[in-house]
Structure 1
Amino acid sequence: MLRLRITSPPDLTPPVLDVLTADPAVSELAVLRGASIRPDGDLVLACVAREAANDVVDRLRELELPTYGSIHIEPVRTWISQAGLAAQHLAPGSGADSVVWADVTQQAYEDSETNWTFLSLLSLATLLAGIAIVLDSQILVIGAMVIGPEFGAVAALGVALVRRRGSLLVAAARTLAFGFAVAILVTTLAALVGRGLGWVTVGDVTAARPGTGFIYTPDRWSFLVALIAASAGVLALTSARVGALSGVFISVTTIPAAANIALGIAFGLGDEIRGSLLQLVINLSGMAVAGWLTLAVEQAVWARVSRYRARLTARLRGG
């Protein structure tokens, strides 16, 4: 169940109410006339089954409501309502499976912002991965991969393609490129300092590393793992089952590959740089493709559900 909090100019309130009252998936509706000061107008509160949220929001957008007012969409964690239960039964599909595109798109824009937090987390994760490579520690590699914040921006590439948002595509690509460049630069400088102090030697990087050797030796499995992990991650994001995201972070070696590139630069090791760079490109490409395909399938499926729901709603009105 989702809660809609709508601010509406007085002249738009009647058509807004028409949209909400006509949809059987809306279980609650209240209007506070003149309650909104900025923007000036009315406050409309409604509860709608998650499966029907896209249809309702799309019809409100057709009224140009976001231009003159606003639509806030909030999850309802716990509710007890017979009317709400009936509304869910009238909405085809499962709430756990449904994709609320407004929520997904907004999250994609937020994850694609190049900000201090993103750059810091990516740099710290890459530094930790660099230490993991020197110590050949799988535990530290996993820790570094969990810290990395890059998956949100990678998923945003798929959202941009599916929802046809050119500005989002540019922002996500720029954030990933700049973020990894900064993280590699920071780790390279740290490696040079460690080299100068004698803490890290070329032997630490070139010696046999049974625990972390996979980082710079990409193969067909690297791409396959990226595809599977990213598909699972996108499903987790769109269905709000974020617990599954940790598996994505641990599965795909983007952060360790970036760290190994930095170590290769610091010690002038071309093979390490080339292998790790290829691993990084394969992983990012695989995740981007998988995210796009998963979202495209979800959009196609829920478009069919929306058409079916429209026919069902028309029959209910006629009956």
Structure 2
Amino acid sequence: MLHLRMISPPEQTDKVLAVLAANVGVTHVTLARGVAVEPAGDLVQADVAREAANEVLADLTELGMCKSGGITLGPVETVLSEAGDRAVEAAPGDPTDAVVWEELLAQTKEESTLNSTFVAFLTIACLLGAIGVATDSPVTVVGAMVVGPEFGPLAAFAVGLVRRDFRLARRSAIALAVGFPVAMVVTLFATLAWEKLGWIKLTSVSNLPNVDFIYEVGPFSLVVALLAGAAGMLSLVTAKSAALIGVFISVTTVPAAGFAVIAATLGEWHVAFMSAGQLAVNLAGIVVAGVIVLELRPRAGNEGGPVHRFKRWVGMRSLVN
């Protein structure tokens, strides 16, 4: 379940309570009149079944709670309540299948912004990837996969496409389009410095049997990217963080960028372009899989068909009027 907490203008509180009472997935409703200071108003709290959250949030938004008051939403780890059990059972669909769009949007927006932290993590990951290639160390390459932060903006891009939130999609694309070149340029200069200092000595990338899988683009490159993207998006909407870690070590995005840099310093442009192709295939595959998962999840969650949405719209009209 999710815990809903909102500040409501006093003149709107009765309508808010009516919205909550009308939804079978809402329970544990409490009201404290006049306790909110900023913004001023009444404090209303409730527990909401995940599969009912989208409808409740849409109704409250239509009442203007986001503008005149405020809404916060967070997960409830443990619920020991028969009323809570009844709410979950009565709400249509299964809690695991439900995508709470506002929750997902908030999470992906936070992870899709181009900032110094994102660039720093991506640069560190590319440096680790380059070191793993230069030393033929699969362990270091896996470390680069785990450190890489690129799945955040990729997931946000997929969410932006599905929700027609083109501002989110554009912000995510900018983070990737700027972050990767910056990280690769820094890695290029670092690699040249390491070669100058004699820390790494490479004459070719053809004798690296442990990491040559990074640049070898094949049919399974796309298959793995699609599967990883699907697993990653599912992990986001179901809060399965362990699965998300699995995604990080499944696709060779950051290591491919590092491999491209190493190959470029050696003048092996064919391998560099193949590595860049591997990077592009993985990025595209993750986004495509994420979009597919998000398109299918609402139907799996049974959030209601046209008749249900029409009935809800008629009910909201009567409340507003």
TM-score, normalised via structure 1 length:
0.93
Does the CA-based 8 Å contact 2:19-2:56 persist in structure 1? yes
Asked if structure 1 preserves the Cα contact closer than 8 Å seen for 2:97 and 2:300, the reply is: no
Where do 5+ consecutive residues of structure 1 fail to align?
315-319
Tell me by how many angstroms 1:201 deviates: 2.7
- Report the CA distance between 1:168 and its aligned residue: 0.2
Whole-angstrom distance in 2 between the partners of 1:250 and 1:206: 22
Q: Does 1:198 align with 2:236?
A: no
In the alignment, the residues of structure 2 paired with residue 226 and residue 144 of structure 1 have an alpha-carbon distance, to the nearest angstrom, of: 17
Query: Paired residues, what number?
Result: 312
Corresponding residue for residue 304 of structure 2: 306
- Equivalent residue number for residue 240 of structure 2: 241
Q: Write out the 4+ residue segments of structure 1 that deviate beyond 4 Å after TM superposition.
A: 308-311
1:86 aligned residue: 86
2:20 is equivalent to residue 20 of structure 1: yes
Q: Distance in 2 between matches of 1:170 and 1:300?
A: 27
Partner of 1:227: 226
1:97 CA displacement: 2.3
Partner of 1:66: 66
- In the alignment, what sits opposite 1:189? 189
Which sits farther off after the overlay, 194-203 or 77-86? 194-203
> Per-residue deviation at 1:272?
2.2
Number of the residue aligned with 1:268: 267
Aligned equivalent of 1:130: 130
In structure 2, stretches of 5+ residues that fail to align are: 313-321
Deviation at 1:170, TM superposition (A): 0.4
- The residue correspondences of 1:69-148 to structure 2 (distance < 5 A) are 69-148=69-148
Give 1:230 shift.
Answer: 0.4
CA separation in 1, counterparts of 2:263 and 2:11?
64
Identity among equivalent positions (%) equals 43
Q: CA deviation at 1:207?
A: 3.8
Partner of 2:6 in structure 1? 6
Deviations 1:216-256 (A, max 9, x none): 11111101110011001101100111110111111110010
Corresponding residue for residue 316 of structure 2:
none
TM-score where L is the length of structure 2: 0.93
Q: Which residue of 2 aligns with 1:317?
A: none
Structure 1 contact 91–309 (Cα < 8 Å) conserved: no
* Counterpart AA for 2:303: V
1:144-183 matches, cutoff 5 A:
144-183=144-183
In the alignment, is residue 218 of structure 1 matched against residue 238 of structure 2? no
Q: Using the TM superposition, give the Cα deviation of residue 284 of structure 1 relative to its aligned residue in structure 2, in angstroms.
A: 0.4
Residue by residue, what CA displacement relative to the aligned partner does 1:118-140 show, whole Å, maximum 9, x if unpaired?
11111111111111101111111
RMSD: 1.9
Q: How far does residue 310 in structure 1 lie from its aligned partner after superposition?
A: 4.5
What one-letter code is carried by the residue in structure 1 that aligns with 2:222? F
Paired residues of 1:6 and 1:71 also in contact (CA < 8 A)? yes
Looking at structure 2, the residues matched to 265 and 58 of structure 1 have their Cα atoms a distance apart, in angstroms, of 51
Partners of 2:306 and 2:49 in 1: how far apart?
Answer: 15
Q: CA deviation at 1:268?
A: 2.6
